[in-house]
Chains A and B, each alone.
Chain A
Amino acid sequence: EVQLVESGGGLVQPGGSLRLSCAASGITFNAYWMSWVRQAPGKGLEWVANLKQDGSEKHYVDSVKGRFTISRDNTKNSLYLQMNSLRAEDTAVYYCVREKKGFYWYFDLWGRGTLVTVSS
């Protein structure tokens, strides 16, 4: 079955750290750019970071630069998001997303998300 499954969310105190994982199955993982997208409670979607197939190129939204690190292990078909110095405003559902890049470029496969709550 083609799917992305996130894990690693939970409750963390402000200033703390958390590592999210995304396990891909049923896809040729190393053929795709991958992204993390988040959604704060009751709010819209916000792209967070993405990573090229071989890990040689990555991008971040300004609000997480220097605090979050995206990485991947193609041998394990897995994507990661290391989140440090967490703030209350990082509270959100975090989605793992596959990017389809060619003549068209779009997000075509989403996981179900994992909830991160930053609170004391």
Chain B
Amino acid sequence: EIVLTQSPGTLSLSPGERATLACRASQSVSSSYLAWFQQKPGQAPRLLIYGASNRATGIPDRFSGSASGTDFTLTISRLEPEDFAVYYCQHCGSSWTFGQGTKVVIK
């Protein structure tokens, strides 16, 4: 079973700052099957990134994803007020699993 470990648990930043969120897989996974989601309170998750680095339709270009081995990164280049939310990485395929989430809060 693949385990995804996200860090940090909480990220405290100010609007305009850069956010870097990490997701580490417990074993080798295909980057093609790694996605990132954003979730706000009371809402369903929203797809941000698929295939580790491809932005979903309508997602602003301040969101970007990258991969290096079993390490995946979601970067928000300049935080907007609407970006403060919880972010999850997720893997499909041999096992379907989510990371535990990173909460981005206003400093």
Expressed in whole angstroms, the minimum distance between the Cβ of A56 and any Cβ of chain B is 17
Within 8 A of A (CB), among B44-97: 44-47, 50-51, 54, 56, 86, 88, 90, 92-93, 96-97
CA distance A108 to B97 in the complex (A): 15
Do B96 and A50 touch across chains, with their CB atoms under 8 A apart?
yes
Residues of A contacting B: mostly: strand
Residues of B in contact, count (CB < 8 Å): 24
Q: Of A104, A110, A113, which contacts B51 at CB under 8 A?
A: A104
Residues of chain A contacted by B33 (CB below 8 angstroms): 104-106
Do A107 and B35 touch across chains, with their CB atoms under 8 A apart?
yes
Residues of chain B contacted by A95 (CB below 8 angstroms): 44-45
Interface residues on A, range: 20 to 34
Instruction: Tell yes or no: A59 within 8 A of B by CB.
Output: yes
Do A105 and B98 touch across chains, with their CB atoms under 8 A apart?
no
- A residues with a Cβ closer than 8 A to B are 35, 37, 44-47, 50, 59, 61, 95, 99-101, 103-108, 110-113
21 chain-A/chain-B pairs, Cβ below 8 angstroms? A44-B99, A45-B90, A59-B96, A61-B96, A95-B45, A100-B50, A101-B92, A104-B32, A105-B32, A105-B92, A106-B33, A106-B47, A106-B51, A106-B92, A107-B35, A107-B47, A107-B92, A108-B50, A108-B56, A111-B44, A112-B44
